[in-house]
Structure 1
Amino acid sequence: MKIDEAREVRTTCPYCGVGCGVLAKVAANGEVTVRGDPDHPANFGRLCSKGSALAETIDLDGRLLYPEIHGSRTDWDEALDLVASTFSRTIAEHGRDAVAFYVSGQLLTEDYYVANKLMKGFIGSANIDTNSRLCMASSVAGHRRAFGSDTVPGSYEDLELADLIVLVGSNLAWCHPVLYQRIAAAREKRPDMKVVLVDPRRTMTSDIADMHLAIAADGDVALFTGLLAHLGQHNALDRAYITAHTTGFGQALFAASALDLAGIAAATGLGEDELVRFYSLFAATANTVTVYSQGVNQSSSGTDKVNAIINCHLATGRIGKSGAGPFSVTGQPNAMGGREVGGLANMLAAHMEIENPEHRDRVQRFWSAPTVAEKPGLKAVEMFQAVADGRIKALWIMATNPVDSMPDADAVEAAIKACPFVVVSDVLAKTDTVRHAHVRLPAAAWGEKDGSVTNSERRISRQRAFLATPGEARADWWIIAEVAKRMGFDEAFSHPSPADIFAEHAALSAFENDGARDFDIGAYAGVDEEGYEALVPFQWPAPSPGGTIGRQPIRFFANGSFYTPDGRAKFIAIRPTAQTRTSSDYPLVLNTGRVRDHWHTMTRTGKSPRLSQHLAEPFAEIHPADAQHFGIGDADIVSVSTEHGEVLLRALVTMRQRPGSVFVPMHWTDQFSARARVDALVAPITDPISGQPASKNVAARVERFTAVAFGFAVLAERPASIDADYWSLARCAAGWRLELALEADRDWPDFAASLFGADAPGETLAYHDVAGGHYRFARFAGSRLTGALYLAPRPVAVSRGWAVEQLSADHADRRGRLAIVAGRPGGNSVDRGAIVCSCFGVGANQIAEAVAGGCVSVEAIGATLHAGTNCGSCRAEIRTIIEARRLHAAE
């Protein structure tokens, strides 16, 4: 597409559930830059490190650009005909439940809507589930039990109005950085605001916490049932609210009182004094918001955890009010949109219930569908088990990578590999899931897609296209609709545009509603192309004119009315429990999660050099006492194993980890590492109500991996293969950086040549210390460094940031090349150290030097180095460096 003049497009970030507004500017030469949208009510111009780097992720490197059948390029007609005919034949021969869709919170609402409509209304099965099952299904189940609907009551504004924020199982600083910055800014204005962090790890979020409760794995039920009992014992209840607006309080209080304070302490791993301080603070603070995320949801007791939290808010009347309420923050940009359209296997569109015959009839009549699924479909874990045992014979995976993200991931991969017919719609040609597809369909990516998403506060925003769709890639909604037409459903799927789909979605939300259901955006049922293009972010409900809800509210339940049959919220009776899974063979608790600068399985963030420099390889975070017990040193390679698998990771020994636990990030895949797919270790244990997997409490063991050699390399080109027991590859500014560990000696010159490219021209400099086991190689093509490899018997002491920069430098001075072989800067060259601030490329050594020079606050560091002044995600780490330097100076 030829661009004659610069233009700026309002769109929405494709990462977490905060739903930040983005301004994407396309220059006349096609160059794209991004900045936060100052007018978007989710972020007011702020972006995190990932959002700030979006322009670095939109290249065509690795893109799937054409349809493929069995790995060979084909055209759309042949590919779509094959998908439609195979699904139709499978249904005819084996029944409608022999097919399934596995979809994603990366889809736009319009994509999600069409997929759900096809599966539930026209195929007639509910076998459509989403990777959002892995992140927020327990919240959905908890909301429905308590409120009668999947309703998130509050608004981001409540985070700034609260006097107490309780963060439970949420590393907000790294996983929802813009919300963290909003809280931090509010706290600076109101120093009396208190923050309590409930998390086994002392994460970077603890930087703003007044109290950190290092809770034992799955101790949350005991913590919050204990809180409810405390509220009852200390007359801290809102009796009038309980009487007027709820049911079941007596039973809930009785169940919660099963353990005394000592019992709660034992179940949570917390001290009695810690519990009393937290309970007293909660009881005394009327404006309290409890923010919870994956540490609550990803549990075999996740739904009970959610209801234990909600019970405490109902008991104190802290819901539907300014600065108060339970608040679930979602992991993906459109997890909420998927819930709205019925993307989960146990829901219907527009928050209607698949078990309710009136709802099924209503949806069927609205769609003019031949049928509507009569029972819930298979949830994610069940779905892939059904693929494995042959019940599902045709599977369509859209915009997600279950070979890496599902629990028991090796079994999931085996199931997909053995499935008779697998379709994958994706952006990239090579992911760990795409490689097993019979049919690969090229989907449009962020920047090319046009549609809407809903964030964690129920705010619907537009994602707008600002790039031409490359090759033959197409929008997901179009792909699904074309298959539907070929299956004989032409009229119902003749959507000309996403605007038409959104209008239908809005109309269904209002259809026979009149305030009976929470989700209602009927005001947009008549939206046309022009109105859709101009759509500004809005919070639902937004009912049709004359609807019973009236003016658009910010918060639900302000009037004490809920969506249960009697209009009252339900207390859920929950007994405090502890869940111990460890044993003598697997004595540690494995906890999985995210890091600051990467996203899911790195199909997007892995493209950005600066996002890969903060944490460039997979790691296992271990407490020093555990490291000593198992004979593990900092930066060793360790094996982490469970009954389901084994991974190799770099050891990160830190006091931030709870003793007896190990934390491993979820992001690394076979595309970026040798053996680091951590979800291969996670058992397929799920919450019995929500079906959400338990990814935070896995019995594991850790052992030191015995390596004869460790290595680090910088390479101008990605190597064709890497013959090493442990390797981790990450992009850098002019190529790649590579970490290595090997169990046996090699012919090291040959090994170096295999990484540099055996046939690539150039001159190689080498240094060998055979007795000491140190080997160094540097390959030059003209004045350009094309590769450097450093090997040692222990983790290599090389200035990594400096070595990476040498790929971009000119090396015409032959004597200066010796510094490359030495692995450290010479003369006046600067070693920035490990990158702390991704936005401005500021390293730990630079920050430490500034502290030594008199910068003793985060603000002073920002004024001197700019670090921490853009997205702010690194501010906690900067403060950690400042405090460490102060302690060092005081010794």
Structure 2
Amino acid sequence: MAGGAGGGPVATRANASDPPLTPPASGRAIKTTCAYCGVGCGIKATVTGEREVAIAGDTEHPANRGKLCSKGTHLGETVGLEGRLLYPEITGRRASWDKAIRQVARTFAETIERHGPDSVAFYVSGQLLTEDYYVANKLMKGFIGSANIDTNSRLCMSSAVAGYTRAFGEDVVPATYEDIDEADLVVLVGSNTAWCHPVVYQRIMAARLLRGTQVVVIDPRRTETCEEADLHLQLRPGTDVALMNGLLAYCRDAGVLDEAFLAEHVATPDSFWSALGEGNDLWSTARTCDIAPVDLKRFFELFAATPRTVTLFSQGINQSIRGTDQVNAIVNVHLATGRIGKPGAAPFSITGQPNAMGGREVGGLASTLAAHRDFAPENVAEVKRFWAAPRVADKPGLKAVDLFRSIREGRVKALWVMATNPAVSLPDAAQVREALALCPFVVVSDCMADTDTSRFADVKLPAVGWGEKDGTVTNSERLISRQRALMAAPGEARPDWWIVTQVARAMGWRDAFGYENAADIYREHARLSAYRNEGRRKFDIGFHAAITNREYEAMEPVSWGGAPFSEGRFSTPDGKARLVAVEQRVLDERLPKWPLTLNTGRYRDQWHTMTRTGLSPRLSQHRREPLVEIHFRDAEEQGIGDGDLVRVATPQGESVFRAALSEGQRQGEIFTPIHWTDRQSSGGRTGLLPRPLVDPHSGQPGFKSTPARIEKLAVEWRGFLIAREVPEQVRADYFTKVRVGQGWLVELAGSGDPDAQLGNLLAGGQRIESLDRARGGWRAAVLDKGGRLSAALFVSRAGRLPDREWLITQLSAHETPSSVELLAGRPAIPQPDRGPIVCVCFDVGMKTIVQAIASQSLVSVEAVGKALSAGTNCGSCKPAIQRLIGETKEAAHA
């Protein structure tokens, strides 16, 4: 009986190689959920051919109402089989499922027998569906008996979990997207919403248009999210507690605290208000945060005068060694002013991954048990009884950073990584790779064959990817949606829940993991949420405890918790929320050796380590290289020009980036993206740079504030390759490769003889080339047997390199240009220069937009959309278009 006291009979499957039933789609539109961020957008997907899918937004889905960002819009470009892991492998050789499952089960069992349950660990992912998460958590915590299961969601939102739990007694997001629609003020703290949650940003802009909602952005960087904001507070990194404590003190002095709500619904520590006195006046706060007092006063007055306020916060708050305190500083202001549990008023954490919330629900974090329970003895007893488990973990396990430290130190001896790439994403990634190399047994289940992490695997298990998965996800607003299979699983790929179930059965727990399909798991998950709950926890989906397979298949998006605190009762023993006293910590002083502060984050059109988005040529146009953004004055001091190669160094490591001079950076601070890995670049490895320091409450790493320095990288030559195929090994000192059109663009730089380093890039075909010995230039093109361009290489020691765009189009051209045109890198008749692509959906460049703005006197984003279509699909580029309108207007009046 799976599920013990709360379970029910479930059929078993005799042979591990028997595939679960995943019928292909029939050509009709299938409703599913996007694979990317925590917005949880609904999609209508139609299979149009073999591994071909047409994507449209689902107008009936409440999360997005038909809107999609650039990544979601181009999901159809990422469902091919390139790079897929299709068969199990043991030590690099193909194996049967039965043999691979037995190997994993036997090794884990032997390790547990010799060294105890805590000698094994799972590291899982917000890419898993809730059903996958549930069985992984059940196996580790309930049957292996250790809480050493943590998730990459630890890296993005665990401080929000800790902060909410301290304040409310439970990890409950007290808001929905409808609160944004009804807010008169939206405060965005540490969130580049326009890039990282574009559909939410468009919802904010719609509220601004319809009801005049004002927008304040609090961020050390001036990002595109600031373009249409009423106010941008460019605070000093790490001073968010000071800012929010100053705001709370101002609200108290202005008489806008909700005294009745505080008295009836909030528990306040005795010294809370007295501790808020000294150092939190407006002038002191402005000095600490390095914000002009006039701007800070404007924000304080606006907040105090606007009861309908939603404060949205994301990684800029969470990814800090003080992240939990920063979350509670925000929540304190909302509790004290009664701005919670009411329409248009809430402290709202927006999550980064598609199912980070589902993982929180099932206990995917090492610090929680299951169904929003902690490790209190009564909770352990309840879960043990429900699961009929032999032993249930009775204390928290190792959080992500500590987990890999324990692997490196030899305490954890067997690791299973599911659907994530910690060799890239964790801080101090060099130490993580060392840990993986030292671990006696590493299992990786993934849909991709070759990731930075899977290279350390003893066993690889092929998992299904988006478009083949079937289950549920929960978005940032607690909305559960279905992710449905659009096509059959390729090769021998299997759902993650099925893989975990087979291992559990092989370890001897057949009855407890006798699930036949995802609906079986979801029903048990729902029963556990309601089991002996009796209103103690807001998370309760008992309404789905008896959902039938047919109802599960047809399930529409559904929320849990309703308006969770509208009645003023919280999930604490006395039903009251908690004000949590937090104080601004003294910030580290900059040292002469490390004069800069490194911040990290995402690009608009890329996702995590680009195993999916990197397959899309369109999504690769926005940022083709990993850039380090530097303030002009910092660059000038180092003799760095825009486009130079720069070495970024921290106490943990170093990597090379292309310099991008930016007024959006505060002086003394730099920014790098998180996406690039060894598979795409010799540089751009942001994961090597952050310190492995974590928040003491949440265990979340502090990615946003690492001491750093920069220096210009001296190279003797620069170049690029455009080719249909690129060799696996590129020997240049610096390279980045990105998919474009019908091939690849590889940026190159180095010292020494370029011919010796790059000769392997031009193998095969008919070669035409020219040498410019005066400038150290080398240009070559390779034509295939049909006379079409297959590769073009341009190298220069002193001269200029041609534009890449025309050459890229020649890879798919029906007629081959002349040899003179190819070696010149441009057509005989010049073509318009579009500039860098701004609108990915309609392939519109910056110069095209600027020319239209100037020549047609366009004064709004909507006018640009009518003229060029730019910004009229996903809307992700609207902030960039708004900025171009402003810059063009300024240039005209200069």
- Regarding TM over 0.5, the answer is yes
**What is residue 130 of structure 2 aligned with on the other side?**
109
Partner of 2:696: 688
Please give the alpha-carbon distance, in whole angstroms, between the structure 1 residues aligned to 2:598 and 2:567.
43
Partner amino acid for 1:727? Answer: F
Distance in 2 (CA, whole Å) between partners of 1:529 and 1:833 is: 52
Structure 1 residues 55 and 334, CA gap change in structure 2 (3 angstroms): same
In the TM superposition, what is the alpha-carbon distance from 1:859 to its structure 2 partner?
A: 1.7
CA-to-aligned-CA distance 1:26-48 (integer Å, 9 cap, x gap): 12666311110000000000000
Specify which of 206, 217, 223 is matched with residue 197 of structure 1.
217
2:385 to 337, 341, 365: 365
Partner of 2:16: none
Equivalent residue for 1:503?
523
1:216 corresponds to:
236
- Say if 2:740 is the partner of 1:736: no
Using a 3 Å threshold, how does the CA distance of structure 1 residues 623 and 391 change in structure 2: closer, same or farther?
Answer: same
Residue number in structure 1 paired with 2:12? none
| Match of residue 392 from structure 1 | 412
CA distance in 2 between counterparts of 1:283 and 1:642 reads 41
Per the alignment, residue 403 of structure 2 pairs with 383
Q: Cα distance, 1:881 vs. partner?
A: 2.1
Aligned-partner Cα distance in 1 for 2:286–2:496:
50
In 2: Cα distance, 1:267 partner to 1:756 partner? 57
**Structure 1 segment 86-125 matched on structure 2, within 5 A:** 86-125=107-146
CA RMSD of aligned residues (A): 1.5
1:50 alignment counterpart: 71
Letter in 1 for 2:513: F
Q: Does 1:83 align with 2:104?
A: yes
TM-score by length of 2: 0.96
Conservation of the 8 A alpha-carbon contact between 2:769 and 2:778: no
From 253, 257, 260, the counterpart of 2:273: 253
Question: Partner amino acid for 1:793?
Answer: R
SS of the aligned residue for 1:10 comes to: strand
Cα deviations across residues 372-412 of structure 1 (Å, max 9, x unaligned)? 10110000000000000000000000000000000010000
Displacement of 1:595: 0.5
Is the contact made by 1:635 and 1:795 (CA closer than 8 Å) also made in structure 2?
Answer: no
2:847 alignment partner, one of 845, 848, 870: 845
The aligned amino acid for 1:368 is: A
Mapped pair 1:178 → 2:204: no
Task: Report the equivalent of 2:4.
Answer: none
Residue 861 of structure 2 contacts residue 882 of structure 2 at CA under 8 Å; is this kept in 1?
yes
* Residue in 2 that maps onto 1:809: 813
Aligned counterpart, 2:617: 609
On the 8 A contact 2:27/2:48 being kept in 1, the answer is: yes
State the shift of 1:540 in Å: 0.4
Out of 762, 770, 774, the residue aligned to residue 771 of structure 1 is: 774
Match of 1:275 among 296, 313, 316: 296
| Residue identity in the other structure for 2:460 | R
Assess if the C-alpha contact under 8 Å between 1:268 and 1:578 holds in 2. Answer: no
| Ranges in structure 1 where 5+ consecutive residues have no aligned partner | 542-552
Partners of 1:199 and 1:4 lie apart in 2 by 44
Q: Is residue 643 of structure 2 the alignment partner of residue 635 of structure 1?
A: yes
- The reply on whether 1:862 has 2:882 as its aligned counterpart is no
After TM superposition, the structure 1 = structure 2 runs for residues 578-597 of structure 1, keeping only pairs within 5 Å, are 578-580=586-588, 582-597=590-605
> Which residue of structure 1 lines up, in the alignment, with residue 825 of structure 2?
823
CA distance in 1 between counterparts of 2:411 and 2:268 reads: 41
> How far 1:808 moved relative to its partner?
1.2
Q: Is the 8 A contact 1:453 1:460 kept in 2?
A: yes
Structure 2 counterpart of 1:244: 264
8 Å CA contact retained: 1:6, 1:27? yes
Who is 1:746 aligned against?
Answer: 753
Residue identity opposite 1:431 in structure 2: T
Tell me the CA shift for residue 81 of structure 1. Answer: 0.3
**1:336–1:747 CA distance, 2 compared to 1 (3 A):** closer
Identify the match of residue 706 of structure 1 among 707, 714, 729: 714
- Letter of the 1:764 counterpart: I
Cα deviations by residue, 1:265-316 (Å, 9 ceiling, x for unpaired): 2321212222211111111111000000000000010000000000000110
Report if the CA contact (8 A) 1:39-1:45 is conserved: yes
- The answer (yes or no) to whether the contact 1:598–1:606 under 8 Å persists in 2 is yes
1:884: which partner in 2? 887
The Cα of 1:249 is off from its aligned counterpart by 5.6
CA distance in 2, matches of 1:245, 1:82: 54
Q: Which residue is equivalent to 1:145?
A: 166
In structure 1, distance between residues paired with 2:873 and 2:602:
21
Contact persistence 1:173–1:180 (CA under 8 A): yes
Alpha-carbon separation, structure 1, partners of 2:377 and 2:179:
37
Partner of 1:550: none
| 1:344-355 equivalent positions in 2, closer than 5 A | 344-354=365-375
Match of 2:683 in 1: 675
Q: TM-score, normalised by structure 1?
A: 0.96
1:574 Cα offset (Å)? 1.1
Q: Deviations over 1:56-82 (max 9, x none)?
A: 001101111000000000000111101
Whether the 8 Å CA contact 2:789–2:811 is kept in 1: the answer is yes
Cα drift, residue 255 of structure 1: 2.4
Cα displacement (A) at 1:145? 0.4
Residues 767 and 780 of structure 2 are in contact (CA less than 8 Å); yes or no, is this contact kept in structure 1? Answer: no
Conservation of the 8 A alpha-carbon contact between 1:855 and 1:861: no
Question: What is the CA-CA distance between 1:797 and the residue it aligns to?
Answer: 4.3
Which of the residues 299, 311, 324 maps onto 1:303? 324
Match of 1:548 in 2: none
Contact 1:621 1:663 in 2 (8 A): yes
Gaps of at least 5 residues in structure 2 are: 1-21
Q: CA deviation at 1:631?
A: 1.1
Alignment CA distance shift 1:29-1:434 (3 Å): closer
Of 130, 133, 137, the match for 2:154 = 133
8 Å Cα contact 1:618-1:649 kept in structure 2: yes
| In 2, Cα distance between equivalents of 1:261 and 1:578 | 18
**3-state SS of 1:482 partner:** helix
**Equivalent residues of 1:242, 1:249 under 8 A apart:** no
SS at match of 1:350: coil
Distance in structure 2 (CA, Å) of the matches to 1:780 and 1:43: 47
Residues 773 and 632 (structure 1), Cα distance of their counterparts in 2 relative to 1, 3 Å cut:
same
Q: How many residues align?
A: 870
For 2:677 and 2:72, the matched residues in 1 are separated by 22
Partner in structure 2 of residue 724 of structure 1: 732
Conserved 8 A contact 2:310-2:347? yes
User: Quick check: 1:12–1:19 contact (8 Å CA) kept in 2?
Assistant: yes
In 1, Cα distance between the equivalents of 2:830 and 2:114?
Answer: 74
1:19 to 40, 47, 54: 40
User: Following the alignment from structure 1 to structure 2, what is the Cα–Cα distance between the partners of residues 430 and 169?
Assistant: 33
Deviation at 1:795, TM superposition (A): 9.0
SS in 2 for 1:591: strand
My pick for the range that moved more, 779-788 or 434-443, is: 779-788
Correspondence 1:541-556 to 2 at 5 A:
541=561, 553=562, 555-556=563-564
Whole-angstrom distance in 2 between the partners of 1:788 and 1:832: 21
Preserved contact between residue 222 and residue 578 of structure 1 (Cα < 8 Å): no
Q: Structure 1 CA distance, aligned partners of 2:332 and 2:740?
A: 49
Q: Which residue of 2 aligns with 1:332?
A: 353
Identical aligned residues as a percent: 53
Give the Cα separation in 1 of the matches to 2:377 and 2:757.
Answer: 66
